[in-house]
Structure 1
């Protein structure tokens, strides 16, 4: 029986029979998991008042072996309970590395949970991702599309087109990427020529398939869109009567010079250095890159629009009343919280941000009227599955082209919400806002422009942004083609783009007020651009019977130089 007086884990059972020792399991839950899990980057519950951890389910994966031993890893599904709010579930694979094992000394310290003795065999209990035997077992099962029966359902390994036929049989080298994030990253096919495959092990689990697996597998298996890391496989926990749970996904590795946020920052350097000399400089290849990204975005959306796929999860849908009410409820709640934040923090803002904030708050009734218009306006455009969290940081620059990554969706949304179909213009709005951030952050945050009046920097950044925005949009719409079922006409494109731009900028505002007050002017300016366009719509529509006064845009007039 387990020795509760020992500092380390100790059991008379062998490691392979661990789950039969309830005392050892209890010790793991109460003494070992709390400090270890709280030290892990992937654990999202550090700031919450914790009520304890419980090992809810245990899966087993046998290691590959020539001598037919039954060494294995356990996939623990750990439930984290809190004093308030819902519990969370996390994936924690564990293995036992004997003291005499050749790899024992090379286990990363952050992967060691405890020293342990099992049936008088000493060693380390470790996060199994740091155990080469576990990584090989994962790869073998995926490459051979195995199904492993478990006491709770089964583990199903799917192989995708991205895994080369030549790599199905035989062992393949692997390592853990030394990157701390919300998931764990393993790479396979390590050689002097590079690495072939990237496996993301999802740590926080949701009672649904991960939207990233849905989208990447669909694009790889059912389209010709090649500007993503190709889907090579996934690990799914299947249980009868409940939705499947995604445990991991493998993709092809891609050449990566830098993400497009960094590349855009580099391209902005020439522009930045010219501003103090009152010069306006944009290199021609900047427009070429922006135009190419617009085309790739359009091609991605065309691939996701597949009326012949036969998959209801990817079938295009109209703008239903339920969808509109979902968007409106979310936006109105967001809007109310942002107004309150602005009021509470108004005196902390710089003069330019205060002026923008004032007009934003004065525009509340106009925004409410715009929301009502969205609720009732006839719309014939369609909704599809989209990227969902699209910005420059989600696009890798690969020399002369781009690769789009990270299809998990908005981090603060539930998995169900991330699978809701939207107009592709929601992705477009995200990229447009990202370009606005790129130039604004560069100009307002650089020493080269520190002595220049903020109102001048505002005008200069807007000129750059509008040129880039129009280049991106023109390339995107040209790629989509007109007419196209996704977009009824240009009026609907313009209207829906305003809806998503406003939602995105209002969302951004909360983060900046809370964490970067000096940047509040960036989302506020984005909101102001939408408000100006809304007012143009009001003025141009002779049938609109609105008693709202025009906005006092004179508050935003900057001095002429």
Structure 2
């Protein structure tokens, strides 16, 4: 193991985007290293590393934007990004750090898009732009906070560069779907991307995607929870429906995006046999979650019954490319309407699974679960308040209904006519949430558990 690999083995588990937290790194290897920016022997440099880790028999690849400077020259604002000091190939020691925090280097990174064939750049890393796209340079990169699985850099009011930290061979679905939606008012316009050749794979892998930046956009989760928080303050006479108009607009937008994706990318139908296989996968996920969270046991029979109803659906189910990880945190509200973000799907899943066709009702179920989460977020710090719980549940219910109406009005399959499918997808998502919260945020575990309890207590879907 090299000195740099030793430093990375200690640094990686502390990063929010590292997916193997809590599991010792048993092997680590720098698979490839490519110089993107050089500014002379005493200036900062930027390399992109593809790092492969092994943990309990599973391997993962990560992208590290590695900045380097002479020891002692690291500015105070980069100290928190430090990885360590190691000896460079020339024998001179270098301070190495996460270059995503370095405004000077990220500004030079943007310039690479304007000169994609710049001298000295390894042919294994390529900067691509769309035909006719002229990249405006001169802005430093400002790193957005709050992301967990990726790192996004904003350049002035022009662009956002989303760097994919965990790498899967092949094109990233976020790039694929945004390209399919290029020109749509409901998605940020793609401008370019960075790709690399990974050892052993013929298809280039997406390292990053450059899109137009959407300034002054309001985060969907922030808007929704602000509406829910009004319940605490007693604002308005019809408090539970305060967000319903926005929920309906979001439903219409979601349906239009689904229709655009179906028109641009392959579609198919899921046969009854395929539905049975999908239901069996749901059963297996329930068993996995139940083994870790005993509180699921009392609701398991009703959840299993919902999966059985789904398996018995006797009509072909249209399937297509979908968002795949759809919730209020993946949408923003502009002055013109709602815009969808982050089409990469669940980032912990292999790309081959995220690229599979699925029912658009899975996205609908994800957003319905998100409305329940917004209500549950309100209740986490206020247990045993029946009046508040009733108001929060009414808020969620009204927004769920408004979203479904808007989705049907926008041309999507009417959720009310596919209740067995929707109910199974909702339970499957809630079971995933139970496992996630148990492992990461135990104080939030009650949110999906209470949703499952409420849904399990509801009358079964009519046959």
* TM-score w.r.t. length of structure 2: 0.84
Alpha-carbon shift at residue 536 of structure 1 (Å): 4.3
Whole-Å separation in 2 of the counterparts to 1:75 and 1:229: 26
Counterpart for residue 451 of structure 2: 526
Counterpart for residue 37 of structure 1: 12
Given the alignment of the two structures, is residue 28 of structure 1 paired with residue 4 of structure 2, yes or no? yes
Counterpart for residue 154 of structure 2: 187
Counterpart for residue 291 of structure 1: 248
Whole-Å separation in 2 of the counterparts to 1:375 and 1:149: 56
Counterpart for residue 310 of structure 2: 374
Counterpart for residue 92 of structure 1: 64
SS in 2 for 1:110: helix
Q: Which has the higher contact order (CA 8 A, sep 6+)?
A: 2
Please tell me whether the aligned partners of residues 148 and 154 of structure 1 are also in contact (alpha carbons under 8 angstroms): no
Q: Residue 325 and residue 274 in structure 1: after superposition, are their counterparts in 2 closer, same or farther (change >3 A)?
A: same
Counterpart for residue 140 of structure 2: 174
Please tell me whether the aligned partners of residues 237 and 244 of structure 1 are also in contact (alpha carbons under 8 angstroms): yes
Given the alignment of the two structures, is residue 111 of structure 1 paired with residue 81 of structure 2, yes or no? yes
SS in 1 for 2:356: coil
Alpha-carbon shift at residue 242 of structure 1 (Å): 2.8
Q: Note the 1:142-541 alignment, pairs <5 A.
A: 142-146=113-117, 154-160=124-130, 165=134, 167-168=135-136, 171-177=137-143, 179=145, 181-188=148-155, 190=156, 195-220=157-182, 224-238=183-197, 242-274=202-234, 281-282=238-239, 286-306=243-263, 309=264, 314-320=265-271, 323-341=274-292, 343=294, 345=295, 358=298, 360-361=299-300, 364=301, 367-399=303-335, 401-443=337-379, 445-446=381-382, 452=385, 454=386, 456-480=387-411, 487=413, 493-512=418-437, 522-528=447-453, 530-531=455-456, 535-537=460-462, 541=463
2:54 to 81, 84, 93: 81
SS in 1 for 2:58: coil
Please tell me whether the aligned partners of residues 236 and 247 of structure 1 are also in contact (alpha carbons under 8 angstroms): yes
Q: Note the 1:129-148 alignment, pairs <5 A.
A: 129-130=100-101, 134-146=105-117
Whole-Å separation in 1 of the counterparts to 2:241 and 2:354: 37
Which runs of 5 or more structure 1 residues have no equivalent in the other structure? 1-24, 347-356, 482-486, 542-561
Please tell me whether the aligned partners of residues 271 and 315 of structure 2 are also in contact (alpha carbons under 8 angstroms): no
Alpha-carbon shift at residue 332 of structure 1 (Å): 0.7
The CA RMSD over aligned residues, in Å, is 3.7
SS in 2 for 1:139: helix
Q: Residue 148 and residue 52 in structure 1: after superposition, are their counterparts in 2 closer, same or farther (change >3 A)?
A: farther
Which runs of 5 or more structure 2 residues have no equivalent in the other structure? none
Q: Residue 520 and residue 56 in structure 1: after superposition, are their counterparts in 2 closer, same or farther (change >3 A)?
A: closer
* TM-score w.r.t. length of structure 1: 0.71
